[in-house]
Amino acid sequence: MQSDFVVSPFSGQPMYLQIMEQMRQKIAVGEWAAGSEIPSIRQLAVSLCVSVITVKRAYLELEREGVIVTRQGKGSFVAPDPALSPRLYQEQFSEHLDRAAQLGTSLGLSDREIVQRLRKAVDKVNETKLEKEPQ
Amino acid sequence: MNYAMVRRLILKDWYLNRWIIIASVPAGIGALAIVLIGKPIAFMLCIILLCMIIIGVGAQLAMVTTINERKDQTLAFVMSLPVSWREYTAAKILANLILFLIPWLALTAGALGVLLLPGATHGLVPYTAIMSVEMLITTSLIVVAGIITESQAWTTAGIFCSSLGLNVLGYVFAHLRGISRFMWGNEVHWTPTAWTVLLAELLMVPLLLGLTFFIQSRKTDFL
Amino acid sequence: MNDVCVRLAGVSKKYPHFQLENISLELPVGSILGFIGANGAGKSTTIRILMGLVHQDKGSVEVLGHAMPSGQVAAKQEIGFVSEDMRLYGAATLAWHMAFIESIYPAWNQPYAEVLLRRFDLKPQQKIKGLSHGQRVKAALLLALARQPRLLILDEPTTGLDPVARREVLAELIAVLADEERTILFSSHNTLDVEQISDRIAFIDRGRIIAFDDKEALLDRWRRLRLVLPPRGALPQLPGIVEVGGSDRLPVLTTSQFDARVVSLCQDRGATVQAVDPMTLEEIFVANVQSRRELQPA
């Protein structure tokens, strides 16, 4: 199965995290339907030209998160949880918020400044949405 | 001993060196043809040329098949095949022997045949046979030197010593009473002396080969 | 349920100017081991001992269940070996070599060989002596890959290849692992290649194994920490510090034993953690080797 993942050893992010992220996104947008079979660890490793152990790590982490399930001898599947997609987005949102908070405090921004910046970001998203809507 | 593997290795050496062998036969026949001129000097020339061809082929073959494997770094390729060091050694020895035997047999038969022509000096047959086998031994020696030392320098020295030895032995044999008495006669006369020399020579070959095997089996590092 | 494909235990070999000491490695079936070492560190010697081409002075070597060097003929039936200093016969063609190998190994896969010919852009009728270095390497790899051996032992398989060829070779190597019964051991200077496809990594320097670990675990526990120390602040004592760089107020620590507690340890001691940077395999290797060499100059 030809893979349409794109991973890069130079992106700065550990490879297994890149793989996890792209797998989550595929599930979030529905490209990989709930309960459907996903490539085996080795298959994905071969198509990405990445070591088996890295793909295995990604799969184990995702399994821990409940995003996928691996059945011995049968293969790996997307978890059948119907509320998966929104939950994934929730997880991502929390992660990004945490990260933003960390960076903000490292930069030395005050609490209010961080909230202001977040508000600006939300405003920007709403603007782009308006632009895209048909007139 | 995996005979199939040994055979494949011999065939490999044949394939890589076939031109040396193939070219030597017409060269040898050409040398023999010179004798048909009839003059004694043509005879001398023929002998010299034959010696050169046989020794040349033998030495070249031995050098190329043994030294070059290490020099050209193909030894790792061969030893990565499912073959033991013994099988490799056996294949090298046999390849050299068999490949050399082709021109050797052809030219020896040719030389003896020429000698048995009416009008030729038949008495020279035993001496020629003895010297011919001597060249076989010389080539074996060079092969052994190549296999054991795997050094171009040592093997070249071996070639030099063998050629020298060949000349010395040629002189010695020609002056042994049992041989010299009938050499220039018109009859083929095999004396006990001649037989003894021939037998001793023929025994040398397995002796040399056994020695090679023994020494090779003591080596532990092949690369 | 992983069987061990290759096992070296306490292997030593002495040469006049070099010594291989106490080499111990284990490679499970179905994985790739990447072997990194400087020139002359002992990679090639170790590989030759694995192939039974060099006899070890001490220690045991087991490959595919066969003791080496005594079982080398049986082992070599299932090992594909390509070495940087190995050459094919210049006067013969690639096609001849392919036929030669095919006659020896029944598992030769001709359709796959033809696929590789196309992928590696090789012409079978060409004589080996007319090939460039990169083409020769690819030819030797083709001969090893097309027989589909259970174990591939490769000494510098991507050295000297152009970037496109390297990618092709790496893709073929990882494709071998689609079969979980097949294993690869390869040595390389090319740390990026090793980092990309290896499951396990071994570092070798001056005849000794200085690291042997799962790749992910190795990459996880090495970090570069950028700290900001308060004035008159002391450097926090952390486990596994291999190198201290930077300045007094802005030190950069390289640690080989990073985990979640390290950051809080630093903060407890009054240091601000500016950044925690992961390190590439190359940086890890160099840091490892340099710190050892400082402790034990040659």
Instruction: State the pLDDT at residue B223.
Output: 61
Across chain C, mean pLDDT equals 91
Amino acid identity of residue B209, one-letter, is L
- Mutate one of C20, C73, C103 to test the B interface: name it (highest B CB count within 10 A): C73
Residue of C nearest to A15 (CA): C196
- pTM as predicted: 0.83
Amino acid identity of residue C96, one-letter, is W
pLDDT band at C137 (very low <50, low <70, confident <90, very high): very high
Residue C296 lies in a domain: no
Q: What is the pLDDT of residues B17-56, one digit of tens each?
A: 898 888 888 888 888 888 777 677 777 777 778 878 888 8
* Rounded Cα distance, B142 and B201, in Å: 15
Q: What is the pLDDT of residues A1-12, one digit of tens each?
A: 446 788 887 777
Residue ending a domain, choose from C217, C242, C268: C217
ipTM of the complex: 0.87
Q: Measured over all CA atoms, what is the biggest interatomic distance in chain A, rounded to whole angstroms?
A: 54
Query: Are C38 and C176 found together in one domain?
Result: yes
Q: Using the predicted structure, report yes or no on whether residue B128 has a pLDDT greater than 50.
A: yes
Query: Are C84 and C195 found together in one domain?
Result: yes
Query: Are C129 and C230 found together in one domain?
Result: no
* Rounded Cα distance, B131 and B201, in Å: 10
**CA C89-C92-C98 angle, 5° bins:** 90
Query: Which of B81-95, C84-98, C231-245 is predicted least confidently?
Result: C231-245
SS (H, E, C) B19-66: HHHHHHHHHHHHHHHHHCCCCHHHHHHHHHHHHHHHHHHHHHHHHHHH
Residue of C nearest to A52 (CA): C199
Query: Are C190 and C273 found together in one domain?
Result: no
Instruction: State the pLDDT at residue C166.
Output: 92
Chain C: closest CA distance from residue B158 (Å): 26
Residue C147 lies in a domain: yes
Residue C49 lies in a domain: yes
Indicate the helix (H) or strand (E) that contains A97.
Answer: helix A84-107
Please check whether residue B91 is in contact with residue B147, taking contact to mean a CB–CB distance below 8 angstroms.
Answer: no
Interface of B with C (CB under 8 A): 2, 5, 8, 12, 15-16, 72-74, 76-77, 79-84, 87, 220-223
The domain that holds C26 is classified in CATH as 3.40.50.300
Nearest by CB to residue C73, choosing from B84, B222, B223, is B84
Separation of CA A107 from chain center: 26
* Rounded Cα distance, C129 and C192, in Å: 30
Query: Are C171 and C91 found together in one domain?
Result: yes
Which ranges constitute the DSSP H helices of C146-204? 163-176, 191-197
* Rounded Cα distance, C186 and C155, in Å: 6
Contact pairs from chain A to chain C, CB under 8 Å: 47
Nearest by CB to residue B79, choosing from C53, C74, C92, is C53
Which ranges constitute the DSSP H helices of chain B? 3-35, 40-62, 68-71, 75-79, 85-115, 124-149, 152-174, 177-183, 192-217
Query: Are C123 and C196 found together in one domain?
Result: yes
Residue C70 lies in a domain: yes
The better pLDDT of the pair C237, C156 is held by: C156
Query: Are C197 and C263 found together in one domain?
Result: no
Amino acid identity of residue B51, one-letter, is C
Instruction: State the pLDDT at residue B160.
Output: 86
Q: At what angle do helices B152-174 and B40-62 cross, to 10 degrees?
A: 150
Residue C72 lies in a domain: yes
Q: Using the predicted structure, report yes or no on whether residue A25 has a pLDDT greater than 50.
A: yes
The verdict on a CB contact (< 8 Å) between A49 and C198 is no
Query: Are C35 and C167 found together in one domain?
Result: yes
* Rounded Cα distance, C250 and B17, in Å: 70
Give the number of domains in chain C: 2
Q: Using the predicted structure, report yes or no on whether residue C240 has a pLDDT greater than 50.
A: yes
Mean of the pLDDT values across residues C140-158? 95
Strand bridging mode A37-38 / C32-37: unpaired
- Mutate one of C32, C185, C197 to test the A interface: name it (highest A CB count within 10 A): C197
Residue C292 lies in a domain: no
Instruction: State the pLDDT at residue A85.
Output: 58
Residue C284 lies in a domain: no
Assigned CATH class of A15-78:
mainly alpha
Strand-pairing partners, residue C212, are C202
Chain A: closest CA distance from residue C44 (Å): 23
Q: What is the pLDDT of residues A85-134, one digit of tens each?
A: 566 777 778 888 888 888 888 888 888 999 999 999 899 888 887 776 66
Domain around C65? 4-217
The verdict on a CB contact (< 8 Å) between A49 and C197 is yes
**Chain C residues with CB inside 8 Å of B2's CB?**
73
Instruction: State the pLDDT at residue B195.
Output: 84
Query: Are C155 and C249 found together in one domain?
Result: no
Q: Using the predicted structure, report yes or no on whether residue B113 has a pLDDT greater than 70.
A: yes
Q: Looking at residue C78, what DSSP letter applies?
A: T
- Mutate one of B80, B83, B85, B221 to test the C interface: name it (highest C CB count within 10 A): B80
Nearest by CB to residue C53, choosing from B2, B82, B222, is B222
C175 and chain A in contact, CB less than 8 A? yes
Residue C159 lies in a domain: yes
SS (H, E, C) C96-128: HHHHHHHHHCCCCCHHHHHHHHHHCCCCCCCEH
Q: What is the pLDDT of residues C254-290, one digit of tens each?
A: 999 998 888 888 888 888 888 888 999 999 999 999 8
